Amino acid sequence: MTSFAKASFDVATYLHCRPSYPQRVYSLILAYHSAIRSSPQWGTLLDLGCGPGFVASELAPRFDQTIALDPSATMVSIGLQPVGNDKDGSKPIQYKVGKGENLEAAGIQENSVDLVVAGQAAHWFDHTRVWPQLTRTVRPGGSVVYLGYAEMQFPGHPNVTSIFSNFSSSVIGKYWSQPGRSIVENLLDDVPWPTTPTPVSANIQQTIAKDGLAASQADHGGWDISTAIRIRHSPESPFLMEQSWSLAQLEGYLRTFSAVHEYFAANPEDKAKRIGKGQEDGKGSPSGDVVERVVWELGQELEKAGVLKNGKGKIEVVWPLVLMMIKKESAV
């Protein structure tokens, strides 16, 4: 996570090359906040680990005010706003440098937040510190939603997925920050609930019913354990983020990896091998830098599979998704 806060991190590429959560994810978050156990409040949305504001800008129109925190001043400086924000009179998102472990420092008051979200960020949290902060700041009946995604896959092309997995785990593997990377790869299974006792199963799983959210198990604790839901991808119940990308877009995405950034910091001679000179052409090269080499290898395999022709064409890529959600007990 510290890679994203460094001045050398390419935030412009990050902004343009990261995948987008499907609208279904946002619909599920709002449905959960609206429908489970209590009358929803729409006063304050708090986004933790907000990055440039992908999640905050999607959900902000439903709330009176939105506060978005990130440890990286560079990320916060981008500060995405909802489309049409300047025309509908709604308040702009308030971006601040801050962490979930110390919400007081960011000025978050007790019992002031209705919905907390953390998109592809909860795997970095110190949960022994974050949950007490959320217990203090989330209003009775308020919701906490963690969302994330695991490693990219190429459906229908196991050889291509294998090449990418080897790149991620072996070539740049030691440069991923741990345990965060392993936690998100396991779809947040290792993220604890805030309750004592914990839910009956530490890994409550729900499928997505056609008519909405499936019922969850019931118990009682400091938070409302009966609202604890973990919606995660499985082969039997797919829950995926999907993109259709060119090789150039795929290359751009790989260059946003924190592990790639750390790899280049440790291997400047490899970084100097880059042929594209700052522009992703998607061709790759067996003699380029570490990203160009794997892009070339992926491209060769996709040509064999008939997906690409002379490097041209679209590649279907997917990421397994997870939503982890729980509510504060409602006021009596």
Neighbouring CB atoms inside 10 A of 128's CB total 9
Residue-range domain boundaries for the chain: 2-150+186-241+321-327, 247-313
Cα 112 to chain centroid, rounded: 24
Identify the bridge partners of residue 95 per DSSP, sorted by sequence position.
68
Give this prediction's pTM. 0.88
Give the count of alpha carbons within 13 A of 327, CB side only: 26
Residue pLDDT, tens place only, 223-259: 998 899 999 999 999 999 999 999 999 999 999 999 9
pLDDT digits (tens, 9 = 90+) for 53-71: 999 999 999 999 999 999 9
Task: Give burial (CB, 10 Å; 0-12/13-18/19+) of 215.
Answer: exposed
Nearest to 81 by CA among 111, 61, 105: 61
Q: Which CATH number fits domain 2-150+186-241+321-327: 3.20.20.70, 3.30.70.330, 3.30.700.30, 3.40.50.150?
A: 3.40.50.150
Tokens at 37, concatenated: 């156990």
Residues 273-322: pLDDT tens digits?
Answer: 999 865 556 689 999 999 999 999 999 999 999 999 988 999 999 999 99
- 255 phi and psi, to 5 degrees? -75, -10
